[in-house]
Amino acid sequence: MSKALSVDLRQRVVDAVHAGSSCRAAAARFGVGVSSAIRWVARARTRGDLTPDKRGGNVRSRRIDEHREFLLALITAEPDLTLAEVAERLDAATGYRPLPSIVCRFFQRHGVTRKKRRRMPPNRTGRT
């Protein structure tokens, strides 16, 4: 992933636009994208701050994490439910139906392993 451009460069682009240059001309002059220049000028106008926002991270897990207690209690009571069945039960109880992949990531984050069968005993016949 690339890094955000420096605040100094952002400020020079915004200053060039405030001095009378268009966003396109300022973007070409400083070698940045036109859409970036437009966003930076709008950000300077609305926020007055040009520092880049935090990037990446988990932004959607909070929605399923709101139902953490329900999900953990459900899987404790019925450990053989499939991910799709867990999503259905959550939908019936709360009206929120996540994809099975989101349920899987929730269980991974919270350390819930979902083995269907116990480990099989070793083979009685030895290999020679």
What's the CA gap between 103 and 33, in Å, rounded?
A: 38
Structure confidence at residue 57 (pLDDT): 76
Q: pTM of this prediction?
A: 0.52
pLDDT at 1 over 60: no
What's the CA gap between 73 and 68, in Å, rounded?
A: 9
Per residue in 2-51, pLDDT (tens digit) is 788 999 999 999 999 999 999 999 999 999 999 999 999 999 999 999 99
Domain-wise residue ranges, the chain: 7-46, 61-109
Q: Judge contact between 54 and 3, C-beta under 8 A.
A: no
Other C-beta atoms closer than 10 Å to the C-beta of 104 total 15
Per residue in 68-83, pLDDT (tens digit) is 999 999 998 988 889 9
